Amino acid sequence: MSAFFDGKTILITGGTGSFGRMFTSLLLKESNPESIRIFSRGEYLQWEMEQLFDDERLRFFIGDVRDKDRLYRASADADIIVHAAALKQVPAAEYNPIEAIKTNIDGASNVIDAAIDNEVQRVMAISTDKAVHPVNLYGATKMVAEKLFVQGNSYAGARNTRFACTRYGNVVGSRGSIIPLFLKQKENGILTITDQRMTRFWLTLEQGAEFVMKCIELMKGGEIFIPKIPSMRIIDLAKTIAPDAKLKDIGIRPGEKLHEVLITEDEARHARDFGRYYVIEPELKYWQETPINGGKKLPDGFRYTSDMNKDWISSDDLQRMINI
């Protein structure tokens, strides 16, 4: 149980998505917020979520992060913003690049402006491993969004608004992840593999939401928080989900990496190890704030990558994670 969120008003952009639903569920279960504002574009998904939770503390705002005026209205008198809204499908972003920029970059800028002008105390942006050494437009927009949120603290200046990011890997079972695809392909007995060498970081929706909650409490402003999470080879993932299925190699797709990176060697120079997570601190800091206490410096040349990870998911662990 966390008393930090008690009595707080929390705005979640992209609140009807997989993360938003889980984060809302944890807030209601583990704390007693004054209200939770769900900000998203789709009225039907909001109606579904309203029926699912049936809690008078939830407020539903139809809106788009591209619409600054609507964001200003939604964030008025809010204490915390969790920014999860994004266009995140890699092929869709490649085919609609300007739309991805409007949502993922311009939308991030709008959230920052609304938070500062409405004196929101804490803003946490949800990022992705694809923002590191990006090879597709989605990753590039999230890299820019990270920079905007870190340096958003310099725009806030002496005001109380502070910004930080959480960056983590693939979420088991989220919309658009490979696991629902494999479960569907299992019915036909053929699973498509892009490259048998491929590895990915994995965590559950609940783990991701719990990590974000913890980081909101810890943040001072400007940090990028990274959880220590396990990796798994895609081929092992496929064999766990459908051990009797045939595997069909289709080749790596455009904009896809063999392995993902959560911390680069350059970032490691200004990052610290806190045991169960890492914190990347801002290199350029134009605001005064005491760093989070503790942590160990990372060794020279340190990289946190899915293929060189020390922690790997077993087949039994994965089966428990996805309930198969």
CA 28 to chain centre: 20
Which residues are 273's β-sheet partners?
278, 296
Catalytic site residue from 8, 68, 102, 130: 130
Cβ–Cβ < 8 Å for 166, 124: yes
Mark residue 62 as left, alpha or beta (left: phi above 0; alpha: psi -120 to 50; beta: remaining). Answer: beta
What Cα–Cα distance (Å) separates residue 224 from each residue in 207, 219, 220, 272?
17, 9, 11, 11
Residue 69, amino acid:
D
Q: Please return the burial class of 281, using the count of CB atoms within 10 Å of its CB with bins 0-12, 13-18 and 19+.
A: middle
Element (H, E) at 37: strand 35-40
Nearest-angstrom CA–CA distance, 274 and 134 = 26
Q: Where are the alpha helices (DSSP H) in the chain?
A: 18-30, 43-53, 68-75, 90-95, 97-101, 107-117, 137-156, 178-185, 205-218, 234-241, 265-268, 315-322
Phi, psi of 262 (to 5 degrees): -105, -25
Is 184 catalytic? The answer is no
Active site (catalytic) residues: 130
